Structures are given as structure tokens and as C-alpha cells.
Amino acid sequence: MKLNNIKFLAILLILFVSSCTKELDVTPGDPNAFLSEDFYSSPESYRQGLAGVYSNLTLTGVSGPGSSNIAGIDAGTSQYGRGLWNLQVLAADEAKWSWENDPGVAEIQRSTWVANNVLLRGMYGRGMAQVAFANEFLRQTTDELLSKRGVSTELRAEIATYRAEARFLRALAYYHMMDLFGKCAFVTDENPVGAYQAPQAERPQLFKYIESELLDIEDDLKAPRQNEYARADRGAAWMLLAKLYLNAQVFVNENRYADCIAYCDKIISAGYQLAPNYLNLFKADNNNNDATIEIIFPVLSDGVVTQNYGPTTLMINSQVGSKESNGASFGVNAGGWGGALRVPKQFSEIFLNGEYDRDDRNTLITADRTIDISSIADRSTGYIIGKWSNLTSTGARGKALEIVDTDFPMFRLADVYLMYVEATLKGGGGARGKALEYFNALRTRAKNPNLISDAELTLDLLIDERLVELHWESHRRQDLIRFDMFTGNKYNWSWKGNAANGIAIPDYRKVYPLPSESLAANPNLTQNPGY
């Protein structure tokens, strides 16, 4: 009797326990979180998933501008374009950041960076996350899975384009990694998600891979200017190929100027035109004013729906002078970020060399300021500029007063013109006449009366003209390296090498070190020499 009772109770208990263990299989509770299999059960999901991959170029997380899926760095600073901007612009002669108590900045702009610099960690992490996001989209859109989910033929055709765009974004990320770090982990959609320790790829392998990917997706991408705004098309792929070839000498020690010219030609003949007004390219409505005809690939920003602390928000708030409090003229709070950015003397000197006295691209503000940044902390030293704006082309203010509506034109036609000129001057076989025409077209568009003659068209002028046309657009470090002016003694700018007047820095600083955390997390990676 006793025993039976106990047995009965024991059996009851066992039944109860086993039924409860099913409760351990939980599912996401948040209305904005989904199991991936549930998410991809709806046809709209593919477009949203693709937007997710694009968004990593500008959003740092899914919960507003203060959220981030990259750790070890302030959320806003982890933004893709901002990381790129810091490493291409601050590290060179185009700007200095006043708030050096922000971690990592001083090392970057004084050329003393080390492997545990947080800005490096942020950019490597962000770029490699882009690879992971693209890979995930490709894994979720295989033929096999699409068939299994019963996706319609119509949608599948659409998804083929989406896949090509995801591969473009992956190639773009690898391109940035190759340029900045000289190497990176090589992960594709064939590899598992988790803690997979990918092999390291150096520049030759990355170069080949990026090139082959871009060539491979060319047909699947929409024709130039035929895709929706902010989505990559064939023009964007050609642009990336042209940049690859222009820098091939640096990347893989090969002369590919002829290929560069070929792709510049393709882009130029695809219907892009210079925007009639230079400054409209950098305004709050550059997503729908007359600048869109020039922009090949933008990264979005919006004061309401695409909030981020990326390069355009950074530049517009930071170009506000501490003394001038001139934010209202850029459509942001009058004080902006209190004078966060000023330009080094060498930058100002190019604009003041007589060529650009009348030029829309010259936005220097010099009154009551010294040209020299004698102290980075003293925000009244050094000139400031006013290239970017959160006002629209008609003078209306953007939607918000800090986070701007201004998109970042990552690729635009003017750059193609200057690449054509450079590749031609470097012996790529382009037509000199066309080169001169492109060069002068940019000056004409900027209402600069100083058109040049064929004899004046030199590489020395070109590198200055690139600064004048493309400054703060995240090209400068790469340009200086291509002209061998970044390291060594050929060209010293203020605070290069941590000296007020600039001193030489060693050649190993042409690439950044891999972040120490990333090296540790993946033993297949090796550190760049010198670090």
C-alpha cells in the first residue's frame, strides 16, 4: 500500500517533469524579433533582409542611433562611413578633431596609432560584419531554400538582383578592408555562422576575389541608373572596379591604369552627369535634388527614419566653428558640436594658392582665425569649412537639428573624371584631350574661371585638385598613399608624426594594424609588419 502510493506519486512526478521540459524551447518574445525561418516565410522579407545588409553602411544597430551591434567602441563612432572617414580623413591632412579625449582619435590624427586603438577595432569589426550580413543574405536566398519556401518565379528573379547587390556590398567591404588593413579574414557564404576562424587573405587574393566577384555579378545587377535610389547598380560595380585598378599599383604592384580607364569610360557613357551646382551634392536633399544625376552610390542618412552619427551628421555638426556658432547656416543647432573639426594649414594653403579664389569648392572660413593649428585643443586656431549642409537646395532646414538628412555620396562622377585624368597621366592610354576636358569640366561646374591648358595638366596639380573636389569624402589617405605622400618625408602636414609642423612617419603606416582583439579571436590572422 505504502509502496504503491509512492510509486504512483513517482510516476506522476516523472510525467509532470517530462511535460515541462518542453517549456524550455522558447521563441523570441519581442514583436520586432523573429526566428529566421519565420522571418523568411513572407515575400516582403527578402527586400527587408537586403535593406538590412545595406543599412549596415549607415545604421549601427536596430534600435536607434545609440544602439550598436559592434562592441568595444562608442555606438555612433562605430558607424561604417564614420570609421572610414576617421581613417581616411583625420589620419591625413584634411581635418583635425578637437575633442582628443574621445578614445583613439589622438592616435589616428597624430599618426601614433597602435593595434589596440578602438577606432581601428570599430572599423574592422564593422567592415567584417558587413561581410557576415551579406553572407547571411546569400545563405538565406539559395535556390534550394527559395524552392523549399515556395517563392514565386517573379520574386526569384528579383532576388537574383538582390543577391548580386549583396555580393557587391560584400566586395565593397573587402575592398575597404584591403585598402585600410592590407588583409583580413576571408569568409564567404560557404562558411558557418558562429566562431569560425577564417583563413587570412592578403591583398593579392582579396584583389582577385573582389575583381572576380564584381565581374561575375555585373549581368545580374541592374543597368546603371536603372535601380532605385540608394541601391547598387552596374555603375557602382564599375566604379569599384575602376578604383581597384587605379590603386592596383599600391594593392598588388600591378599597372592596371588601362583597365581603370576602360571602366571610367563605361561609367561616363552610362548617362551620369555632373550636378549643375557643386554644393547641392552635399545638401539635405541630395537624395532628390539635381545632384542625383552625379551620384553613383550614396549612403543614406535621415533625421527621422535613418538616424545615425555617421559622416554627414559628423561633418555638418563639426564644421560649425566654436567662435562662429554658425550652425544655423548649415541647418543644425547654432553651436553644432562646438568646433569639433578644423583643417590643417596645408589643406588651407592649397585653397589659398590663387587657383581657387573663386571656386564653389572653396568654403574656407578664415576670419579671426589663424591658419595654423598650433594646439589641437585650442578651437580658435585653424580655419574651418562649410562644404556640407543640412539645408536643402532651396534653403529649407532638414527634419532634425542634429542628425542630418544629407546622404554621403560614396561614389560620384567627379571622382571618375579625376580617376580618368590620373590613369591617363600615369600612362593608362586615355585620351589627354578628354582628360583635360574632364578636369576643366569640374572647374567650370565650380564656377572657377581658372581653366587649365594641356601643359598645366600634371599629377602634382591633380593630387591638389582631388583634395579640392573630393575633400572630406573619405579618399584622402588612399590618394596620398598612391602618390607616396602619406608616409616618409615627401609631404608633411600639421600633426603628422605628432609634431605641430609635421614630420616623417615610417612606411609601415601605409596600412593599419589589425586590431589586437581581432587577431586574438582568430589565430589565423597575422599582424602587419612594424606593429
Q: Are the CB atoms for 304 and 400 separated by under 8 Å?
A: yes
Contact pick of 191, 205, 249, 277 for another protein (by CB under 8 A): 191
Kindly indicate which of the ranges 256-264, 341-349, 431-439, 516-524 contains the residues binding another protein, using the contact rule CB under 8 A.
Answer: 516-524
Contact pick of 80, 85, 124, 330 for another protein (by CB under 8 A): 124
Residue 183 has φ and ψ, to the nearest 5°, of -170, 165
Q: In terms of CB distance, is 117 or 448 closer to another protein? A: 117
Considering CB under 8 A, how many residues would be counted as binding another protein? 124
Q: What is the 3-state secondary structure (H, E, C) of 162-229?
A: HHHHHHHHHHHHHHHHHHHHCEEECCCCCCCCCCCCCCEEEHHHHHHHHHHHHHHHCCCCCCCCCCCC
Interaction of residue 330 with another protein, rule CB under 8 A: no
Contact pick of 87, 92, 185, 240 for another protein (by CB under 8 A): 185
For another protein, what does the binding mask look like between residues 140 and 159, x meaning CB under 8 A?
Answer: --------------------
Question: Cell triple for residue 184?
Answer: 583580413
Q: What is the 3-state secondary structure (H, E, C) of 59-95?
A: CCCCCCCCCCCCCCCCCHHHCHHHHHHHHHHHCCCCC
Distance between CA 187 and CA 168 in Å, rounded? 15
Q: In terms of CB distance, is 179 or 422 closer to another protein? A: 179
Q: Could you give the dihedral angle defined by the CA atoms of residues 251, 257, 262 and 265, in that order, rounded to the nearest 10 degrees?
A: 100
Question: Could you say which residues in the range 192-251 bind another protein, by CB under 8 A?
Answer: 192-198, 228-231
Q: Degrees (nearest 5) of the Cα angle 374, 378, 382?
A: 55
Q: What is the 3-state secondary structure (H, E, C) of 246-301?
A: HCHHHHHCCCCHHHHHHHHHHHHCCCCCCCCCHHHHHCCCCCCCHHHHCEEEEECC
Run of H or E residues at 10 = helix 2-20
Min separation Cβ 169 and another protein, Å: 12
Min separation Cβ 61 and another protein, Å: 7
Q: In terms of CB distance, is 95 or 416 closer to another protein? A: 95
Kindly indicate which of the ranges 63-71, 267-275, 364-372, 478-486 contains the residues binding another protein, using the contact rule CB under 8 A.
Answer: 63-71
Question: Could you say which residues in the range 355-384 bind another protein, by CB under 8 A?
Answer: 376-377
Question: Could you say which residues in the range 74-113 bind another protein, by CB under 8 A?
Answer: 74, 76-77, 99-103, 106-107, 112-113
Q: In terms of CB distance, is 299 or 457 closer to another protein? A: 299
Question: Could you say which residues in the range 283-322 bind another protein, by CB under 8 A?
Answer: 287, 300, 302-307, 322
Q: Which residues lie across from 384 on neighbouring strands?
A: 365
Contact pick of 82, 121, 345, 482 for another protein (by CB under 8 A): 121
Min separation Cβ 88 and another protein, Å: 20
Interaction of residue 518 with another protein, rule CB under 8 A: yes
Interaction of residue 512 with another protein, rule CB under 8 A: no
The count of other CB atoms within 10 Å of the CB of residue 273 is 12
